[in-house]
Chains A and B, each alone.
Chain A
Amino acid sequence: MIKNRMILIGIIVSVIFVLIGCVYLSSSQETLDKVAEEFGLSESILWEGLLPDYELPGLEGNLFTNLAIGIASTIMIFALTFTMGKALKKK
Chain B
Amino acid sequence: MHIPDGFLDLSISTIMFLLVIPFWIFSIKGVRSVLSDKQVPLMATLTAMFFAAQMMNYPIIGGTTAHLLGGPILAITLGPYAGLISMTIILFIQALFFGDGGLITFGANVWNMGVIGVFIPYLVFIIFMKIMRNKKGMLIGAFLGAFLGDVLAAIFAGLELGLSTINFPYNVQIAVMAMGVHHSVIGIGEGIATVMILSILLSKRSDLLQLQKMAPRWLPSIDLRGSK
Contact = CB atoms under 8 A, between A and B. Distances in A.
Interface in A3-44: 3, 6-7, 10-11, 13-15, 17-18, 20-22, 25-32, 34-36, 38-44
Most buried by B among A22, A40, A74: A74
A69 to B, nearest CB: 8
Nearest to B180: A31
Contact of A81 (B44, B56, B60): B44
A69 B171 CA distance: 37
Given A36-B161, A39-B168, A78 B1 contact: no
A80 B102 CA distance: 21
A32 B64 CA distance: 9
Interface in B43-64: 43-49, 51-53, 55-64
29 contacts: A10-B46, A14-B52, A17-B55, A18-B55, A26-B55, A28-B57, A29-B63, A30-B57, A30-B64, A31-B61, A31-B154, A32-B7, A32-B179, A38-B174, A44-B5, A47-B102, A49-B95, A49-B96, A49-B100, A50-B96, A53-B99, A70-B55, A74-B52, A77-B48, A82-B44, A85-B35, A85-B44, A88-B85, A89-B31
A85 B174 contact: no
B98 A11 contact: no
10 smallest CB-CB distances across A and B, nearest first, come from: A49-B99, A44-B6, A21-B55, A10-B45, A85-B40, A82-B44, A17-B52, A78-B48, A14-B52, A31-B182
A13 B49 contact: yes
A61 B62 CA distance: 25
Interface in B174-202: 174-175, 178-179, 182-183
A42 B171 CA distance: 15
B171 A31 contact: no
Contact of B45 (A21, A36, A54, A78): A78
- The A contact surface, by secondary structure, is helix
Contacts of A52: 98-99
Contacts, number: 204
Interface in B145-188: 154, 157-158, 161, 164-165, 168, 171, 174-175, 178-179, 182-183
A30 to B, nearest CB: 6
Interface residues of B, number: 72
B31 A88 contact: yes
Contact of A41 (B44, B157, B164, B182): B164
A52 B52 CA distance: 16
Nearest to B112: A32
Contact of A46 (B28, B102, B157): B102
Interface string B71-92: 0000000000010011001100
